[in-house]
């Protein structure tokens, strides 16, 4: 797996557990089967491997997580996006809701 480069330049090993925790947090109390969550994690890992790069920005991983959440659950997608993108007003929530329903 590639090394993940955070926005501050810090590097860390890819963590499947971090992806899993992020998805579970976004999907808390949502009716999404665990098998679907596991499938999303597998697709993210496969996409990272397909990048065939030694390092990837954390932003890329976050975008992959958002894409998978969009497929799994619209509410989970908006929850994750609100934290990931640090929403500061209602307009940003409205935009995320529009994106979730595309």
More confident residue, 58 or 101: 58
Counting the structural domains of the chain, the total is: 1
More confident residue, 87 or 30: 30
CA 57 to chain centre: 13
Domain assignment of residue 34, given as a range: 3-100
pLDDT of res. 42? 95
Tokens encoding 72:
């799994």
| Contact of 22 with 80, CB cutoff 8 Å | yes
Q: CA geometry: angle at 65 spanning 27 and 3, to 5°?
A: 130
pLDDT of res. 27? 95
């Amino acid at each position: 797996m590639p090394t993940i480069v955070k926005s501050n330049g810090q590097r860390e090993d890819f963590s499947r557990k971090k992806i899993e925790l992020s998805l579970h947090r976004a999907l808390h109390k949502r009716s999404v089967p665990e098998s679907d969550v596991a499938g999303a994690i597998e697709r993210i890992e496969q996409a990272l491997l397909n990048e065939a790069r030694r390092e990837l920005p954390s932003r890329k991983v976050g975008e992959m997580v958002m894409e998978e959440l969009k497929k799994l659950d619209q509410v989970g997608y908006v929850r994750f996006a609100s934290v990931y993108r640090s929403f500061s007003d209602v307009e940003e929530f409205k935009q995320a809701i529009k994106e979730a329903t595309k």
